Structure 1
Amino acid sequence: MRLPRTILAGTAALTLLSAAACGGGGGDAQRPAGATALYDALPDSIKETGVIRFAGDSHPPYRIVANDGKTVTGIDKELQDALGKVLGVRTEISIVNGLPAALSGMLASRYDAFNGPVKDSAEREKQFDAIVWMVTRTSYLIPKAGSAAIKSSGDLCGKRVAGTAGSIVEDQAKRLTEWCTKHGKPGIDFMGLADTNGTILAAKSGRADAAGMTESAALDVLGKEKDAFTYVTQTDEQGAGVDQLAMLVPKSSGLGPVMLDAFKKIFENGEYKKIMDKYGLQNVAVPEPKMNTAATP
């Protein structure tokens, strides 16, 4: 017996719907053409949105924020674009008000990562995976128009130093204060501010005698305002050492190991070196990325 056309058509439609539900329309349908094992290893939440959300404060030359408060250029943008390319997803940066906002935002799942550069510490590794991709030393911008006679980092004892609150610079200032007191000098009066731009303005306005920041950031400012500042760099004797700087990713997200592999890829394909060379950061580059170095015995 032959079935009516309407029944045949209905049966065919149901067959197509079943095929879509069972195999054709699952996660594989969303997989980008040419996706690699790195993409497959990403957390499902990122594969669903196709984007990794970075938090970032204003911190030239890492994050140079345009007047619209949204457009970002600089090292971070180029580094994140390179990472996104090997991962097969887009990246975006949301500007936040300093390190505490970035950390709390990641723990609240508003952001997936924060590129810092922020110091890798055992305390931070309790909640975050830290992918180390550079090192640094702390430098201090000194306004040429200022009255404070600062010729070396030792002359900062007893002076007002502005720096980003909760940053590596604050840690470095504490070590420098210990050095000052050990040598019978008054400690540093540290002013914790929201971002690097704020520290520069504090020094320019006379509210601070110096602005502390990473050496790469100090060199960037000097390149733009060479007639306005000089700078001094903290020494090993004063507790500077060479700090490991990292991108932070919440441990709970599972993104950390994948991001480490993405960093390894951009080291291998030359993108890392290209970016570091472009911004004159050869002296703070590392031979390979590592994760959670502070917890390593």
Structure 2
Amino acid sequence: MRAVYARALAVPALLLLPLAVAACGADPVLAPKAGTAGTAPAATGSPAGTGPSINLGPDQKRLRTEKVAAIAAQVPAAVAEDGRLTVGFNGEGAPPLVFPATDDTTLIGAETDLAQLVADVLGLEFAPQTTSWENLFLATKSSKYEVVFNNVTVTEERKDTYDFATYRIDQLGWQVTASSPIKEIAKPADIAGLRVSVGSGTNQEKILLDWDKQNRAAGLKPVEILYYQKYGDVLLALKSGRVQAYFGPNPAIAYNIAVSGDSRIVGTASGAGPSLQGLIAAMTKKDNGLVKPLNEALNTVIQNGRYREVLDRWGLGNEAIPKSEINPPGLPRQAE
């Protein structure tokens, strides 16, 4: 999953949203300027306004869990010898997944919280490292980073070089304003005749165009598609009524709802398309022996409830999985 990023000054209501996030080609997301208000209502994939606050400060008071000796004993000696789990992140920021706190230094978000829990189970110190998106793969291949937690989708091509232990579904969401009469978008007919915004060149655009094609073939009204370069412009268009719905990455939408409460999610879809549920996974170098303890550590925190607490904390409860898998079917190979 590639991310695109943009910094912005704090803006009102519907526009209060951090930096950019991407789901296999996604859309920019705005961030509050460092030093602005450090809390916001929590989200669970529905309108916010109640529940605990999202802490944007450097003192995260992260959820922790206990070491499991039987799993820690499986960690390869090359990883365990320094007592640290070196975890790679894209440091530019993609709220609510991984992004700088209000001190512009400390990495926070759902991905860092989950990595901390995994390190705890393995009995290792969590050692975050940051680099560019592209270099995450190179650094993992060279063993500079022992694992990456950074919204990486499992693909068949990536499985040639890396091993994966899954921890979230790759999900897209349909966003409408809180006052919208639209109650649900679950099938092509639900968008017939609507004005919809989507990111150009993304997986979600492909899905939207396919739905529109099906509607036209069925004699339904076509979709009017509006493209905006920045997610902030999409939010303005939603607020003004120029756009009736936006189709984009679920984490970004969930976070926007968390910090503004002025919109709703009325449907979700797999980021891999209708024939496959895309999966997000911890990525490590292929055959280095680490994927099995990673998988068992993730299943430990899924079972003890810490995993779900982290996702709910960041408004991503609707992306939870019941069990972590090793190297499941991924997005198909690109045609030559």
Answer yes or no: same fold by TM over 0.5: yes
Match of 2:274 in 1: 239
Match of 1:115 in 2: 149
State which structure, 1 or 2, has the greater radius of gyration over its C-alpha atoms.
1
1:43 aligns to 2:76 (yes or no): yes
The verdict on how the C-alpha distance between 1:177 and 1:110 changes in structure 2, with shifts beyond 3 A counting, is farther
1:135 aligns to 2:169 (yes or no): yes
Using the TM superposition, give the Cα deviation of residue 139 of structure 1 relative to its aligned residue in structure 2, in angstroms: 1.5
Q: Sequence identity of aligned pairs in percent?
A: 19
The verdict on how the C-alpha distance between 1:54 and 1:156 changes in structure 2, with shifts beyond 3 A counting, is farther
Match of 1:27 in 2: none
1:200 aligns to 2:235 (yes or no): no
After the TM superposition, which segments of 4 or more aligned residues of structure 1 sit over 6 Å from their partners?
155-159, 186-191
Contact conserved, 1:50 with 1:90, CA < 8 A, in 2? yes
Contact conserved, 1:62 with 1:75, CA < 8 A, in 2? yes
Question: How far apart, CA to CA, are the structure 1 residues paired with 2:223 and 2:170?
Answer: 26
Using the TM superposition, give the Cα deviation of residue 161 of structure 1 relative to its aligned residue in structure 2, in angstroms: 2.9
Match of 2:55 in 1: none
- Partner amino acid, structure 2, of 1:244: L
Match of 2:21 in 1: none
Contact conserved, 1:173 with 1:188, CA < 8 A, in 2? no
Aligned with residue 212 of structure 1, among 225, 242, 248: 248
C-alpha deviations, 1:188-247, integer Å up to 9, x for none? 7888x9xxxxx53463587xx757212x431221120234x55554558x7386432222
Contact conserved, 1:55 with 1:113, CA < 8 A, in 2? yes
1:161 aligns to 2:198 (yes or no): yes
Give me the CA root mean square deviation: 4.0
Question: How far apart, CA to CA, are the structure 2 residues paired with 1:156 and 1:232?
Answer: 17
Matches within 5 A, 1:52-63: 52-57=85-90, 58-63=93-98
Larger proportion of helix: 1
Normalising by the residue count of structure 2, what TM-score does the alignment of the two structures yield? 0.58
Normalising by the residue count of structure 1, what TM-score does the alignment of the two structures yield? 0.64
The verdict on how the C-alpha distance between 1:240 and 1:117 changes in structure 2, with shifts beyond 3 A counting, is farther
- For these two proteins, the number of residue pairs brought into alignment is 244
Using the TM superposition, give the Cα deviation of residue 256 of structure 1 relative to its aligned residue in structure 2, in angstroms: 1.0
**Partner SS, residue 49 of structure 1:** coil
> Mean alpha-carbon deviation: is it higher for 259-268 or for 151-160?
151-160
Question: How far apart, CA to CA, are the structure 1 residues paired with 2:233 and 2:138?
Answer: 26
Task: Name structure 1 gaps, 5 residues minimum.
Answer: 1-33, 145-150, 194-198
**Partner SS, residue 163 of structure 2:** strand
C-alpha deviations, 1:36-91, integer Å up to 9, x for none? 24333222332233222222232222223225543112222221111111111112
1:272 aligns to 2:304 (yes or no): no
- Partner amino acid, structure 1, of 2:73: D
Contact conserved, 2:192 with 2:223, CA < 8 A, in 1? no
Matches within 5 A, 1:1-297: 36-57=69-90, 58-98=93-133, 100-141=134-175, 154=191, 161-162=198-199, 170-184=202-216, 200-201=231-232, 203=234, 210=246, 212-214=248-250, 216-227=251-262, 233-234=267-268, 239=274, 242-294=277-329
Larger proportion of strand: 1
Task: Name structure 2 gaps, 5 residues minimum.
Answer: 1-66, 179-183, 217-221, 238-242, 331-336
Question: How far apart, CA to CA, are the structure 2 residues paired with 1:68 and 1:243?
Answer: 34
